[in-house]
Homo-oligomer: A and B are copies of this chain.
Amino acid sequence: MRADPSQAEPHDVLIHVCVTCRRADDDADAPRPGARLHRALADALPAGMALRPVECLGNCRRSCTVAVSAPGCWTYVFGDLVAESGTEVLAAAALLAGSTDGLMPWRGRPEPFKRGMIARIPPLLDHKEAAE
């Protein structure tokens, strides 16, 4: 799936965080849990990881939501997270960063990242290549 895995490790990981995520019973005037998660990640982000806030990752039913991507790897969307999930998000991102086959290993995943997968998307090849 990856062009040349040996050239790409460790991967730079990109973490998208939905900052508009909240649950129906959350106080509408309080900082949104997704925004609090984003802030916690920004405060703890290690080298080799990038962070981007997003207004809606489309997973409103099972917030909070993050998407974790790395070059040549699958992109993973996880939900059912909370404002306090920062440490686990970074652990999962580090797992993808160290992947040898483009997949996030199951072993070592924090518990919310075993049961909270919303979707995963293969690395996007050049479209012409995919069409051949």
Contact = CB atoms under 8 A, between A and B. Distances in A.
A12 B124 CA distance: 12
A59 B120 CA distance: 8
A82 interface: no
Contact of A120 (B14, B58, B70, B130): B58
Interface of A is mostly: strand
Interface residues of A, number: 33
Contact of A76 (B58, B65, B128, B130): B58
Interface of A: 12-14, 16, 49-52, 54, 56-59, 65, 67, 69-71, 75-77, 117-122, 124-125, 127-128, 130-131
A-B pairs, top 4 by smallest CB distance, nearest first, are A50-B131, A58-B120, A12-B127, A50-B130
